[in-house]
Amino acid sequence: MSKKIYLFVPLFLIALILFSIMSPINTLSNDISQKVLRLHILANSDSKADQDLKIRVKDNILKDTAYIFKDCNTLDESIETANNSINIFQKSAENTLKNCNSKYSVKVYVDKEFFDIREYKDFTLPSGYYNTIKIVIGEGKGHNWWCVMYPAVCISACTDDFDKVLTKEEKKMITSKKYIPKFKMLEIVNKLKNKIKS
């Protein structure tokens, strides 16, 4: 047997055990990730100046786009709206960079990407693949900032906005601290799954 097979077999067995244990919470977590649109902003680097610039971009984008998703009633509507509004996000970010005398480029696009478990004030989102409005400043190698655009938690800072898209059980999961250890275990499962796939 090759070293790869020796490594793969225990990984596969561990993954199978974890998949079976985590199956119910994995199902709920997948349901949550399919109901949310996230905003993800990556700074050029981790320097203080670049991180400060990221926050300036974030503040102006939230201000300039606060109205965009107010009439969206579904995730599909919000994704379509995001795709149709890329130029608004782009212009807001570019204007901020210009006003800050920054020469960085900025890229804005709607994508689906994997997130690790993330805690945000009064709620925690499990790891998984989420629809995302992604904004990359310069090289995009710095620490990121994220929040939820649909439902409009970014704008309202109120977890009650989740009521219109999540079930009671799903909302309980993301707002209760007792689920965080399970989310962390699920993150390990997802990473193992991705490792096996690759």
Supply angle C-alpha 181, 157, 100, rounded to 5.
Answer: 105
Instruction: Summarize pLDDT for 113-134 with one digit per residue, the tens.
Output: 989 898 887 899 998 899 999 9
Residue 179: what pLDDT? 82
52 Cα distance to chain centroid? 20
Work out whether strand 123-125 and strand 144-150 pair parallel, antiparallel, or are unpaired.
unpaired
Instruction: Summarize pLDDT for 23-78 with one digit per residue, the tens.
Output: 667 777 888 999 999 999 999 999 999 999 999 999 999 999 988 988 888 999 99
- With the C-alpha atoms ordered 62, 68, 72, 75, is the resulting torsion angle positive or negative? negative
Q: For residue 120, what are the CA distances in angstroms to 9, 74, 178?
A: 37, 22, 15
pLDDT at 148 > cutoff 90: yes
User: Average pLDDT of 10-28?
Assistant: 61
pTM: 0.81
Instruction: Summarize pLDDT for 158-178 with one digit per residue, the tens.
Output: 889 999 899 999 999 899 888
Residue 87: what pLDDT? 96
Q: How far is the C-alpha of 188 from the C-alpha of 195, rounded, in Å?
A: 10
Q: How far is the C-alpha of 125 from the C-alpha of 179, rounded, in Å?
A: 10
Residue 1: what pLDDT? 45
Residue 184: what pLDDT? 80
> Which run of H or of E encompasses 68?
none
Q: How far is the C-alpha of 182 from the C-alpha of 24, rounded, in Å?
A: 11
Higher pLDDT, 11 or 122: 122
Nearest of 150, 183, 178 to residue 78 by alpha carbon: 150
Instruction: Summarize pLDDT for 73-117 with one digit per residue, the tens.
Output: 899 999 999 999 999 999 999 999 999 999 999 999 999 998 989
